[in-house]
Amino acid sequence: MMELLQKRENGKIVMCNLGNFYLAIGKDATLLHNLLGLKVSCIKPEVCKVGFPICALEKYTELLAQKRYSFIIYNFDQKKEKIEERKRKRKIWFQSKNKKTN
């Protein structure tokens, strides 16, 4: 799922909530590790993940915005089996809209 979102949102850091954390994988995980000092876990060199607690979302998105990186945050609703875009940073500040996946 995250790989598909990364392809669709090319050029943006993609993060998605899973449980009580927001996670990023692959190149986004490595980039967040380098930019923000978040702990990265790698199974193989290209198979990495990084995460932070939900309560730290504003802190890390503000840091990314200050560093002028584009990102998109998704919330996954397991009951509805739907992904909802929560936050996006690009030239225009933050926007939200609903997105569904098949």
What are the contacts of 41-44 at 24+ separation with CB within 8 A? none
- What residues does each domain of the chain span? 2-24+54-98
Q: How far apart are CA 46 and CA 81, in angstroms?
A: 28
Give the per-residue pLDDT at 78.
65
**Stretch 40-64: mean pLDDT:** 92
Give the per-residue pLDDT at 15.
94
**pLDDT for 64-100, tens place per residue?**
999 999 999 998 776 666 676 776 665 444 443 444 3
